Amino acid sequence: PDTDTRADWAQDPADQIVGRRVQYPGWDLDAFARPAVLNADGQFTVALGPDNLFDAVNGAFAGAQDSIHIEGYTFEHLALGQTLAERAAQGIDVTLLLEGGPPGGISDQQRYITRLIEDAGGQVWFMVSDRNSADDRYANQHAKFAVIDDQLALISSENFSGDSMPDDDKSDGTLGRRGSALLTTAPAVVAHLQALYAADFDPQHHLDLFRWSAADPKYGAPPVGFVPSAETGGTGYQPLYAQPLTFSGSLTAEVVHSPETSLLPVDQGGLLGMVDRAGAGDTVLVEQLYERVHWGGSNDTPQSAPNLRLQAYIDAARRGATVRILLDAYFDTGDNAETVAYISQIVQNEGINLRALLGNPTGRGIHNKMILVEAGGEKWTHLGSINGSEASSKANRELAIQVQSDAVYAYFAPAFWVDWTSSGGLCCSDAAFIE
């Protein structure tokens, strides 16, 4: 209801879910303000990184016949870049939209690859705040998705890098980041991603888009003589799955994206709604790059500015669900350790079936953003680009998909339990573990 008070506005500091937000100019809220709950009918492929993610992504790019439209954070994978350049040279519309200001800046490796694509006839654009007198629409363009031939959608947790998608011979093992992806031909999912991409990549109406230019000192070519790295992978981690899983069928899917729909009241869907399904006898498995112990500023606490995602997991355990949370140890500078300590204290105080650990099961970090929920006989999987910070849900461009599918859950749940046990956790007294 309209109250004629600040509670009606997105900036309401008292509303943790739909409040405490700043709207940037250029958001397409009217078009994307409602969650996209879809009947997804088609072919589905799910892939696990570093095991087989390269195969799934490179295969999708190499098979393109008409167009490849990518929205990503960074692009540093030489072999994938060469595949895109080859397709562009064949006359296929290859267009990339990348973040213009990633931490540490744009690498020379990416400069080399983007030049390769541009020289072959493709286009590489950046979302920027330092060209055209423009402010970029999002704190970060952090989504990782693609639409191929207007018929195939890719949604991933991973950047296009050799660490995330190693292309080495894995017969002797590999090394990389733990991640996940889903590809589908389901027309409803493809159409939603097409609409999102078209809204973000719209140079006629948005000045925060700047095309690669060889002479530009930031968004241009690498230094003369730069030699890119083609080395990926290594040894030390034995892949669980040699191949992605592919199947056909019809399932319920919900496409969620920041800043519009990734954080909603539980009765409206999104991640909070999915986790809220879990109660006594159910299971919630979380594998994340990070979950902040609280949101807000450094002076806030879990009480004054709760991380609503983390709170949802804790509340599920309080309702009687088995909840396991595995956070990255490889990149962690102490934030994840603080979250684990906070959860451990709650468990000590309340005795609920909740555990949290730090881990690095695949050698180069957990980069995943995956939540698995088994509740009331239904099995749900959430995967995509959304991390556990407040900005990830409220200020970035992010994209994830959550699907109700026994097959998808059965592919990813064993990987979670392998990662959990390799990180020191106990397994299988509370959930099926598939060898």
pLDDT at 432 over 60: no
Q: What is the mean pLDDT of residues 274-288?
A: 98
The answer as to whether 235 is a domain residue is no
pLDDT at 25 over 90: no
280: exposed, middle or buried (C-beta count within 10 Å: 0-12, 13-18, 19+)? exposed
Q: What is the mean pLDDT of residues 388-412?
A: 98
Q: What is the mean pLDDT of residues 86-92?
A: 99
| 388 and 304 part of one domain | yes
The answer as to whether 288 is a domain residue is yes
Helix/strand/coil for 107: coil
pLDDT at 430 (0 to 100): 39
- CA distances 242 to 47, 135, 155, 169, 273, Å, are 10, 44, 20, 11, 33
pLDDT at 59 over 50: yes
pLDDT at 125 (0 to 100): 99
Strands 176-184 and 152-156: antiparallel
- The residues with which 126 forms a beta bridge, in sequence order, are 98, 210
Rg, C-alpha atoms of the chain = 21
| 163 and 261 part of one domain | no
The answer as to whether 185 is a domain residue is yes
What is the C-alpha to C-alpha distance for residues 308 and 296, in angstroms, rounded to an integer?
A: 11
3-22 in b/e form (b: 16+ CB < 10 A) is eeeeeeeeeeeebbbeebbe
pLDDT at 264 (0 to 100): 93
Mean pLDDT lowest for which of 22-36, 86-100, 224-238, 279-293?
A: 22-36
| 192 and 263 part of one domain | no
The answer as to whether 282 is a domain residue is yes
pLDDT at 23 over 80: no
Q: 21 falls in which pLDDT band (50, 70, 90)?
A: confident
| 277 and 389 part of one domain | yes
| 206 and 273 part of one domain | no
pLDDT at 434 over 50: no
| 176 and 66 part of one domain | yes
pTM of the model: 0.95
pLDDT at 17 over 50: yes
How does pLDDT run across 326-339, given as a tens digit for each residue?
999 999 999 999 99
- If one counts the domains in the chain, the total is 2
- CATH assignment of the domain containing 119: 3.30.870.10
pLDDT at 373 over 50: yes
Residue-number span of the structural domain to which 295 is assigned: 255-422
Which residues, at least 6 apart from 404, have a Cβ–Cβ distance to it below 8 Å? 251, 252, 253, 378, 379, 380
Query: Domain ends where: 149, 179, 211?
Result: 211
Which residue carries 């949290």 as its tokens? 356
Mean pLDDT lowest for which of 34-38, 211-215, 227-231, 274-278?
A: 34-38
The mean pLDDT value of the chain amounts to: 95
The answer as to whether 250 is a domain residue is no
pLDDT at 13 (0 to 100): 67
| 56 and 181 part of one domain | yes
Q: 427 falls in which pLDDT band (50, 70, 90)?
A: confident
| 166 and 307 part of one domain | no
Highest mean pLDDT among 34-38, 196-200, 265-269: 196-200
Query: Domain ends where: 211, 227, 242?
Result: 211
Q: 22 falls in which pLDDT band (50, 70, 90)?
A: confident
The answer as to whether 170 is a domain residue is yes
- Our measurement of the distance from residue 40's CA atom to the centroid of its chain's CA atoms, rounded to an integer in Å, reads 20
pLDDT at 435 (0 to 100): 33
pLDDT at 92 over 90: yes
How does pLDDT run across 203-227, given as a tens digit for each residue?
999 999 999 999 999 999 999 999 9
pLDDT at 428 (0 to 100): 62
Letter for the amino acid at 153?
A: A
| 162 and 286 part of one domain | no
How does pLDDT run across 108-131, given as a tens digit for each residue?
999 999 999 999 999 999 999 999
| 169 and 294 part of one domain | no
Q: 5 falls in which pLDDT band (50, 70, 90)?
A: low
The answer as to whether 219 is a domain residue is no
The answer as to whether 435 is a domain residue is no
| 115 and 205 part of one domain | yes
